[in-house]
Amino acid sequence: MKIRNGFVSNSSSSSFCCFGVVLQPKEMEKYPKNKWGQVLLPEDLKLHYQEGIGCYCEEEMLVGLEPTDMKDDETLFQFKERIFNELIKIKPELDFSEMHWITDGGYEG
């Protein structure tokens, strides 16, 4: 019998966990974009899409970092603060209280 220790995924399932914010299509219009029309994010942030699962739709962008992106010498507060400091570069009006853990998963089959 083989036991797998690590990440296991089916092609018909998806899930994620990140700390950040959900950006709506209207919000994205005012952010800087590259020549292909994609929102430019600071280097330290990641973009997550979740298509039609839960309360998210294809147009929404989930922007933040995953728990695995936390540095070894970083506290949880420092991790959240680092994300906030990057997010205010693209959304200056952001309030720290708008940020939260975003988790979702679903079955597409």
- pLDDT tens digits in sequence order for the chain, 109 residues long: 455 555 555 544 556 788 999 877 677 677 777 777 776 777 777 776 544 434 444 567 788 899 999 999 999 999 999 999 988 887 888 999 999 998 876 555 5
Task: Mention every residue, 6+ apart, whose C-beta is less than 8 A from residue 103.
Answer: 15, 16, 17
Reported in sequence order, the residue ranges of 4-97 that DSSP labels E, i.e. its strands, are 13-23, 46-48, 61-65
pTM across the whole model: 0.68
Are 58 and 22 within 8 A, CB to CB?
no
With 0-12 / 13-18 / 19 or more C-beta atoms within 10 angstroms meaning exposed / middle / buried, residue 39 is middle
**What pLDDT does residue 91 have?**
83
Range list of H helices, 41-99: 76-87
**What pLDDT does residue 63 have?**
84
> d(Cα 42, Cα 86) in Å, to the nearest integer?
6
What tokens were used for 82? 């680092």
Would you say how long the chain is, in residues?
A: 109
Residue with tokens 């906030």: 84
**What pLDDT does residue 70 have?**
93
Residue with tokens 């309360």: 55
